[in-house]
Structure 1
């Protein structure tokens, strides 16, 4: 909802508060003001000018040489290219030194040899959107009415010396979809009174009921329908102030009759429709459901095919409007219209919502009917429109109305105790403070034994229960004034659990390592459901799947991540690293009716270059040790490195020689390795490496408290050994033997070489290790090192049959 600050001032005294301050107070009261736009911001020195003379530019066919009186001495010469500029017009003139939107400064200039001392402006050049400019002035300059004063500020006449507040209304606050509703709200926030329009106008002796009869097929669809008749209407542009307010609210002006109905829509929130009485084709208005495939051409010149979901206004036979949505072209007010039938009705909001949806047509009117209008404002809006049609269209309003009225709209009574309000809000408000708040809202209130009985006006259809009244008290008392307290209890609500903290640590680490987070479907196909699964079980099938490709719950995340890699690779994004933390679903064996077991996993996939410094001629492609290193860093971060081990493993879909099982305390919790070349070919991928871990088990691992040690003051000693062992013995197994035998002095063990060649005995290989010894308390002697080192050599010989390579 766009709210004009100047217009709002007609209902509420805002002399002591600026638009920005008002926006802040409204936001703090519970309705967000999304922005404040000053319409004339940056624009200055634009005045009303009178075109004294106009003649063709001597050197240009499409330019005019104009002599313009701007109210300051002699007229000035301005060259204008607008096709509609002419002698005798009053126009907007940007004088020399003026500034227009976009910081466009007006200077003296020569155009094709003729001097130009300013600029005659179109509305678009004054910052008004093209879609809001009346069709007559959509091309060319804007021409003011003849009664405007030359030399005055043009922006004031156009109502652009204003600020517009954009309210971000939630669906329950339909009461603020109009200026009166906003006025009620602002008056309550500021503690001021609301001034309502004074509606008085003369009526002629003829009766509206003699001109038209109203019938309704279903009273539930249309509890109230009124029709007023206004004769001798003269179609003309609406007053300039009204056009300005409509444009500020985002509505394009048309003519005085249409503009008045739109003006009332904004002022009262009541949609109205004006029919050309002489084009109706009968003296009857009959409201019914449309027949299946019945057609109507609406005001936008589109042919609409209707159904029984659409409520139709007819002349007894032919449709003349889609009720609550849009009028028909066959009864449109046109330049020759003299008699207007003014419709004001209360339609069932559910019917209008469905009708609008079926037609895929949403209008300002339907938006208000859908959310609910004030039933007690229907007739008041029609009376206000009749007054304006008399004042600005010269209309003669016939006495009374033709109507069907079965509407019962009584205010609701809602009761709440003072104790309940204070308990929910944590306040200690007194009875008189709460009563004052309800009075500011203009809610009639009685109090007995600290229980408030509030009569809620029909304009506030969002208030139906105790909690609604509590919210009203809270927002007008001021959310900033509600006491701040800390939660009391064994657990503080809102805090992360240890598991959640660790999961965030996992995500942060993987993202820090260069992997992007992916979120993929938990649904998969028959072919992929058991691929890469750590625990294969009977697949869980959806009862109503979207498609066969999304018919089963996944048992592994890897297939979806490989689809992500494939998608990117096909678009030349060949260097990619992604991960996902998500749930896999495992059926409970023998219990088909039970929900599946959900386990949280973390998985990743990497392909292409891991790093590249091309200016140094360096690049590193992803291999097994890159992705294994990422996992080792993750385990280090989680503090579980000492419990983790890797073993050679085989898994369907993975490379048989480049896959390792990941063990936590001896239990397999996942795998890491290269995707099988056959699957890589099927997906058209280069070498791709992946991992998947049971995150639930990994994060449930208890971690010992962190112990810090001082930086060693004494030097370390490194010893390298090359061991000849059988080809079938794994380097990791030997490393485990070395670590166990090395004792407290052995701090690091690393493999740095592997040799299998022609100088090596068949069935044998040489593995070289680097061992680092040090003692934080003293300098190691040769004797101490030799003693520890001999234990290592003895252990590898005894347990692995290893001998030192000569």
Structure 2
């Protein structure tokens, strides 16, 4: 809601309150002010000019040479390119030295050889947006009313010395979607009285009931409908004060009748509609539900197909308006309109919202009906509008108002106790304090001891419960004045062990150079099972956004590969990504799927790039495995982790390993195979995925530290010849089991196949480290352990010592 500070002063005394003061007070009272716009800020040297003469520029077909009276000693020449400039017009002139929006400076200049002493301006050029500029002047200069005085400053003339407050209203504060509603709110905050517009109610001898009859077929949709008749109107532009108020509120002026309906909409929050009585088609107004496939061409010249869900205003035969949303083109007020049928009604907000959504018509009227209007302002707004139309369009208001009224308005009475109020909002208010606040709200009330009975006016339909009144009293008392207290006997929250470990995972991976990615949980049927550690039936969405997002995923890797492909296509050749997210396993139809948290990563490019050292190391299998080893070490689960040769669709069979936790597969690491690389348009990408839940829930012993050994260790290298199918990991586990007393470390440092190694065999070399923390080992002791190990690997794997 855009609120003009100067217009607001018509209803309430703002003496001593600046726009910024008002914005702060409104915000503190619960109505947030998003910003304050000063339309005339920075504008200067803009005045009213009178075009005495206009002729074609001698050297340009699309320019005009104008002689303009600026109220000075001599008229000046101004070159103007507007197609609608003409002699006799009053126009907006920016004199030399003027400043326009965007800090544009106007100087005396020559245009195609002719001197131009300033600029004749359009409304857009002085700061108005195109959507609020009257259509007649959308593509040219603005022509001022004939009574405009030459030399008058434009900024005050257009009310641009105003301040516009942008209120960010919540859905329950529809009462502030009107100037009077905002005035009541400001009056309550400042403890000042609201001045409502005076309605004199002058009418002619003729009666409106002789011209129109009403029938409402669905009173539940339209409990109150009123109609006024205004005769002998003369359609023309609205006065400048009215146009500028509408434009400041974001509404485009049209003509004096339509502008009045929009003005009352802003003033009272009551939507109105003006029909051309002679084009209406009959003397009967019938409000009913539309028939299926009934047609209506609305004011935007779009033919709309209606359904039984839509409420329409008809002339007894065909629809002439979509109730509460938009009028019909056939009965709109036009330049030759003589008699106006003015509608003011109370429509059911749910029905209006249904029509608005179905037809994509979001209007100022529909938004107010949807949120709720004051039923007690329906008649008052109609009387005020009829009086303004008569005043501005020279019409005669016929006596009386034709009504169809089945509306019952029950006053809302709220009872509450002072003690409960103080306990609820944490204050120590007295009866007098509460009374003063209720008076500021202009609610009627009764007091019995410390018990209050408040009657809520219909303009505040959002107040229904004692808690609503507590809120009103608290915000007007001032949230800043409510004493601060600390919670008592409340335990403070913290991270669970699982959450702490998850943070360790993020910190570790990001420290190793990976960046977090967040992708959709939805994927396509083609991708949902790719790289899945377990197969499961697809979980399909009932109403998917698209085929590409129709199934819940079983793996995080496919979307990470999409992200890698996206980066590679944009010349980002080094991509290290990880994601912590959920995958979903079906438990059968009509059953909630099982959700598991996974960790996955995708890496490609250079892991080491030191140009000054001439050193480049591309990512490979062992780079990714090394990153995982660091992660496992950080989580203190390294001793429970083993790797074994793995095979998974989409991964290279020779560069894939399963990751085991206590002998159970919880993930994989490997290289994307060539076929899958072509599918995703990537190259040399290595990925991993882990069942994060199982990894983080693994119970680990408390971390124990040991002192640095005081005694020397002894190292022995052995090279074992084994069958090609035997893995280094199997050999390493056998060696560790056999030498567990003195053997402290086993490392693979070489794998060899070739000359001097029999066919079908391979040589795997290990470094074995022995030591005792209590004493120095002798060679004889190490030889004994060494022989045990050689015997164990020979018995278990047929390994022979390479010579």
Match of 1:225 in 2: 225
3-state secondary structure, aligned to 1:203: coil
Match of 2:719 in 1: 723
1:30 shift after superposition: 2.2
Cα deviation, 1:155-192, whole Å, max 9, x if unaligned, reads 11112112222222222222221111122222223333
Matched, 1:87 2:87: yes
Distance 1:29 1:630, change over 3 A: farther
3-state secondary structure, aligned to 2:458: coil
> What is the rounded CA distance, in whole Å, between the counterparts of 1:594 and 1:372 in structure 2?
41
Indicate if the aligned counterparts of 1:722 and 1:766 stay in contact, CA closer than 8 A.
no
Cα deviation, 1:672-724, whole Å, max 9, x if unaligned, reads 223455655666654443322221222223455667899x8999999683533
Match of 2:178 in 1: 178
Match of 2:697 in 1: 700
Indicate if the aligned counterparts of 1:299 and 1:328 stay in contact, CA closer than 8 A.
yes
> What is the rounded CA distance, in whole Å, between the counterparts of 2:355 and 2:436 in structure 1?
42
1:216 shift after superposition: 1.4
| Structure 2 length-normalised TM | 0.88
> What is the rounded CA distance, in whole Å, between the counterparts of 2:523 and 2:331 in structure 1?
54
Match of 1:754 in 2: 751
Indicate if the aligned counterparts of 1:290 and 1:306 stay in contact, CA closer than 8 A.
yes
Structure 2 unaligned regions, length at least 5: none
Indicate if the aligned counterparts of 2:720 and 2:764 stay in contact, CA closer than 8 A.
yes
Matched, 1:674 2:700: no
| Aligned positions of 1:98-497 closer than 5 A | 98-448=98-448, 450-489=450-489, 491-493=491-493, 495-497=494-496
1:401 shift after superposition: 1.0
| Aligned positions of 1:640-789 closer than 5 A | 640-651=637-648, 654-675=651-672, 686-703=683-700, 721=717, 723-727=719-723, 729-733=726-730, 750-762=747-759, 765-768=762-765
> What is the rounded CA distance, in whole Å, between the counterparts of 1:9 and 1:613 in structure 2?
70
Matched, 1:800 2:799: no
Match of 2:502 in 1: 503
Indicate if the aligned counterparts of 2:206 and 2:399 stay in contact, CA closer than 8 A.
yes
Indicate if the aligned counterparts of 2:179 and 2:266 stay in contact, CA closer than 8 A.
yes
- Aligned-residue Cα RMSD (Å) equals 3.8
Indicate if the aligned counterparts of 1:742 and 1:791 stay in contact, CA closer than 8 A.
no
1:314 shift after superposition: 1.8
The answer to which of 347-356 and 458-467 deviates more is: 458-467
> What is the rounded CA distance, in whole Å, between the counterparts of 2:267 and 2:784 in structure 1?
94
The answer to which of 561-570 and 478-487 deviates more is: 561-570
| Aligned positions of 1:526-545 closer than 5 A | 532-534=531-533, 539=537, 544=542
Distance 1:71 1:613, change over 3 A: farther
Distance 1:308 1:795, change over 3 A: same
The answer to which of 131-140 and 80-89 deviates more is: 80-89
| Structure 1 length-normalised TM | 0.88
1:437 shift after superposition: 3.0
Distance 1:114 1:679, change over 3 A: closer
1:409 shift after superposition: 1.8
Count of residue pairs the alignment pairs up = 796
The answer to which of 65-74 and 249-258 deviates more is: 65-74
Among 599, 616, 627, which residue is 1:630 paired with? 627
3-state secondary structure, aligned to 1:800: helix
Distance 1:703 1:22, change over 3 A: farther
Match of 1:517 in 2: 517
> What is the rounded CA distance, in whole Å, between the counterparts of 2:170 and 2:12 in structure 1?
23
> What is the rounded CA distance, in whole Å, between the counterparts of 2:709 and 2:75 in structure 1?
94
Distance 1:625 1:355, change over 3 A: same
> What is the rounded CA distance, in whole Å, between the counterparts of 1:295 and 1:615 in structure 2?
76
1:99 shift after superposition: 0.7
1:224 shift after superposition: 0.9
Indicate if the aligned counterparts of 1:91 and 1:143 stay in contact, CA closer than 8 A.
yes
Indicate if the aligned counterparts of 2:296 and 2:328 stay in contact, CA closer than 8 A.
yes
